[in-house]
Amino acid sequence: MFVELSIQDVPVKFVIDTGATLTLVSTRVYDLIPDLCRPHLSKTRSQIKSVCDKYLSLRGKGCFKLDFGKEEFISEAVVTDLQVDGVLALDFMKKNKCLIDVSANLLHIDNFKVPLLFQDTKNRNADVHRKPCRLTSDSQVKLVTSQMPDNGKELNLMELQSNDSDLKLVKRWLTEGHRPQYNEVSGKGFFIRSLWSQFGCLEVHGDVVVRRHNDRERNFVKLQAVIPMSERKQVLEYCHDTEYAGHLGTHKTREKICQSYYWPGIQSDVRAYVASCAKCKRRKRTLKRKRASIRLEEDNGRHESKRPACMADYVNK
């Protein structure tokens, strides 16, 4: 999924990736920009991993003019080695109140519409069989419960969604089978706008709002329960901190959560949670090895090393 635009008058195609936090420009595109129009790059302390879990070599960051034809936007982007022209990421979308409307093939940038383009989606989707899906088992759904302070009553996922105002609104859309116009949701938060753009992938299953996700690697369709804001921390704790979870990294923790659950912005939430985990920080911290000291003494104008006492005793024996 990508959009066509020009960056500093150079025509490009940018991939739309809501899982990426920083907008990226390839070094090839950056070198094509005329010298007089080429933005100055400053050093960046950001660390960016590719889908192969390898760190990318960053050239720097700068401010670029993104021209979509009738509208121009100034956005900060990081220049790095990419196989594509660039990546339009979450920072640009949040700043400009973007909304992805997959059903209409449109990207809404504030009140401006940009056509979405797809490549090789027909063949790719043809390989996915719509097998019967079922929601997670009762034991798994019970993980997402909340102890209410007023009456001590345990709530299941269905009741938790009913208590969330945003999910209650989305559930009403799905029950009525009618998606509202964009101008009705443009002023609402990122959570509502994101679910509005995925209206075609949402459904009510057993009175619970779920998202239908095509798992192309395993070649089947699964249902993910949409988690309200109040329970996300508990899901993160269960899928990262528990003994069976094993304090895995960002990618594997996200995969574990997405086996049963989903919410908009899950990638950035998992990344922030794993980065703040104290146990993971201690494990990644490099340990200094204690070494025996070696002194150098000058003898006849040459430096000779003396073995540590422990080593000398071992050799003499």
C-alpha dihedral over 103, 254, 267, 280, to 10 degrees?
180
The confidence score (pLDDT) of residue 307 equals 52
Sign of torsion, CA 157 202 167 95? Answer: positive
123-282: CATH number: 1.10.340.70
Burial per residue of 2-30, b for 16 or more beta-carbon CB atoms within 10 angstroms, e otherwise:
bbebebbebebebbbbbebbbbbbbeebb
The confidence score (pLDDT) of residue 222 equals 81
The confidence score (pLDDT) of residue 53 equals 66
The confidence score (pLDDT) of residue 33 equals 87
- Name residue 225's beta-bridge partners: 210, 261
The confidence score (pLDDT) of residue 302 equals 54
- The structural domains of the chain, with segments of one domain joined by +, span 2-119, 123-282
Structure tokens at 101: 């409307």
The confidence score (pLDDT) of residue 304 equals 53
In terms of Cβ atoms closer than 10 Å to its own Cβ (0-12, 13-18, 19+), residue 131 is exposed
Fold of 2-119: Cathepsin D, subunit A; domain 1 (2.40.70)
The confidence score (pLDDT) of residue 110 equals 80
The 3 state secondary structure assigned to the chain is CEEEEEECCEEEEEEECCCCCCCEEEHHHHHHCCCCCCCCCECCCCCCECCCCCECCEEEEEEEEEECCCCEEEEEEEEECCCCCEEECHHHHHHCCEEEECCCCEEEECCEEEECECCCHHHHHHCCCCCCCCCCCHHHHCCCCEECCCCCCEECHHHHHHHCHHHHHHHHHHHHCCCCCHHHHCCCCHHHHHHHHCHHHEEEECCEEEEEEEECCCCEEEEEEECCHHHHHHHHHHHHCCCCCCCCCHHHHHHHHHCCEECCCHHHHHHHHHHCCHHHHHHHCCCCCCCCCCCEEEECCEEEECCCHHHHHHHHC
Report d(CA 239, CA 257) in Å as an integer.
Answer: 6
Q: Do β-strands 296-299 and 72-80 pair in parallel, antiparallel, or remain unpaired?
A: unpaired
The confidence score (pLDDT) of residue 52 equals 65
The confidence score (pLDDT) of residue 209 equals 92
Indicate yes or no: pTM above 0.75.
no
Structure tokens at 66: 């993104």
Size (the chain), residues: 317
The confidence score (pLDDT) of residue 1 equals 83
Phi and psi at 159, nearest 5°, equal -70, -35
The confidence score (pLDDT) of residue 126 equals 36
Q: Mind listing the pLDDT tens digit of every residue in the chain (317 residues)?
A: 889 999 878 899 999 887 788 899 999 999 888 877 788 888 888 888 776 667 888 889 999 999 988 888 999 999 998 888 999 988 898 888 888 888 788 888 887 888 988 764 343 333 333 344 444 433 333 333 333 333 344 458 888 888 899 999 999 999 998 889 888 888 888 889 889 988 888 999 888 999 988 776 666 778 889 999 888 998 898 888 877 677 888 888 888 888 889 999 998 999 999 988 888 888 776 556 666 655 555 555 555 555 555 554 444 55
